[in-house]
Structure 1
Amino acid sequence: MKIRHIALSAAALLLAGAAQSVEFKQVDTARSSLAFSSKQMGVPVPGSFKKFTTQIAFDPAKPTAASTTLEIDLASIDAGSKDANDEVVGKQWFNVKAFPTARFVSSGVKALGGNRYEALGKMTIKGQTRDIVAPFTFKQDGANGVFDGGFVLKRMDFNIGEGPWADVSAVANEIEIKFHVVAAPAAAAKK
């Protein structure tokens, strides 16, 4: 009788855990954002990308099974002015005619504790692929999952800013990338 009671209790705990397990998949692009900050002559220059798509599969109960893909429309950049936008889509910067998108594909997620995680993966820009580690936090907001994080990208690793723009004393090599992603549970995605 005691063994049966223990087995039933264990089954109930497993089912309760499964009931609380929610996978977030449907990204709300209207409420999500992708921003960056670079430094030009030591002065911070903020910007953003207006068009990007994200496929995400994240279950906070099983973070190591998570996966994500991010594709950025590089021509959608807002670098603060029309002149700046026209410059950075050109051949010496993003060269969007030859390389219209940037892409990140995760290879794993590591749980750090306290709703903190690291996404590990490959970023490809201008035909150059590099490893990226992107720390992020996860919180549940009602039915939605909210992911906030960022990482530092070294632009010269991707040949962003060639010719006279390769001088990192004029435009810093480090670009801070920040993301805010709102995603609905998988069940909501199926409706």
Structure 2
Amino acid sequence: MKPVLKHLMLLASLAASSAHAAEYRTVLPKQSAISFETRQMGVPVAGGFKRFTTQMVFDPARPEAASARIEIDLASIDAGSVEADEESAGKLWFNRSVYPKAVFTSSQIRALGGNRYEMRGTLTLKGKSRELIMPVSYVPGKTAATFNGAFTLKRLDFGIGEGMWADVATVANEVQVKFRIAASGK
């Protein structure tokens, strides 16, 4: 093959691959969700948050340049009952009058292969900040991509459920948090 033809084919293949790459920045709130599950007296209790904002930048060709920030409106909790939602507002739980939001800010995203990533960052909740490492999967689509992740939060590390609620036999210390963030390249 002549060198000029070889170079043209290489350029064409590079252009084709970059045409399929997308940088995801526009979050689709109606297709996104944050949920949690814990145990109360051994019984699973599921819930979620109805309002949160996400700012993100992700290019699968450059995951090391990615970033994410999620702010959760703690007043939007759905803990399974009106009583549980109201109880979560108090000083022993979220103390929402002082700390109305939980905020996660990424610091590093590392590719693991096969559309799997490790996201590191800081979660600030009830005035306490802790480093988190969580696995995230990337599922590309025709018009949008989905980012699915999960991690275990230890509620007592953040002072969530203090006083009489600190007994882990009553309410487990481990809270499984899951998220699905949908985003388009627009």
What is the TM-score with the length of structure 1 in the denominator? 0.93
**Counterpart residue type for residue 39 of structure 1:** R
Report the Cα offset of residue 128 of structure 1.
Answer: 0.6
Matching residue of 2:171: 171
CA distance in 2, matches of 1:184, 1:21: 12
The CA distance in 2 between the partners of 1:134 and 1:56, in whole Å, is 16
SS in 1 for 2:171: coil
**Greater mean alpha carbon deviation, residues 121-130 or residues 139-148:** 139-148
Return the letter of the residue paired with 2:158. Answer: F
- Distance, in Å, in 1 between the alignment partners of 2:127 and 2:41 is 28
In the other structure, the counterpart of 2:88 is: 88
User: Partner amino acid for 1:84?
Assistant: A
| Root mean square deviation of aligned Cα | 1.3
For residues 6-25 of structure 1, the C-alpha deviation after alignment (integer angstroms, 9 at most, x for no partner) is 33233223222221110111
Residues matched between the structures, number: 186
Structure 1 residue ranges (4+ consecutive) displaced by more than 6 angstroms after TM superposition? none
Q: Tell me how far apart the structure 2 counterparts of residues 166 and 30 of structure 1 sit (CA, whole Å).
A: 35
Q: Aligned partners of 1:92 and 1:85: how far apart in 2?
A: 13
Q: Matches of residues 147-162 of structure 1 in structure 2 within 5 Å?
A: 147-162=147-162
> For structure 1, which segment, 59-68 or 34-43, has the greater mean C-alpha deviation from structure 2 after superposition?
59-68
Unaligned ranges ≥5, structure 2? none
> 1:60-75 to 2 correspondence within 5 Å?
60-75=60-75
Corresponding position: 1:136 with 2:154:
no
When structure 1 is superposed on structure 2, of 107-116 and 9-18 the one drifting more is 9-18
Q: Percent identity?
A: 49
**Cα-to-partner distance string for 1:131-165 (whole Å, 9 max, x where unaligned):** 11121211122210111111111111111111111
Runs of 5+ consecutive residues of structure 1 not aligned to the other structure:
none
Q: Deviations over 1:24-45 (max 9, x none)?
A: 1111111111000011111110
- Secondary structure at 1:109 match in 2: strand
Give the Cα–Cα distance (whole angstroms) in 1 for the partners of residues 89 and 119 of structure 2: 28
TM-score (norm 2): 0.95
Residue 123 of structure 2 is aligned to residue 99 of structure 1: no
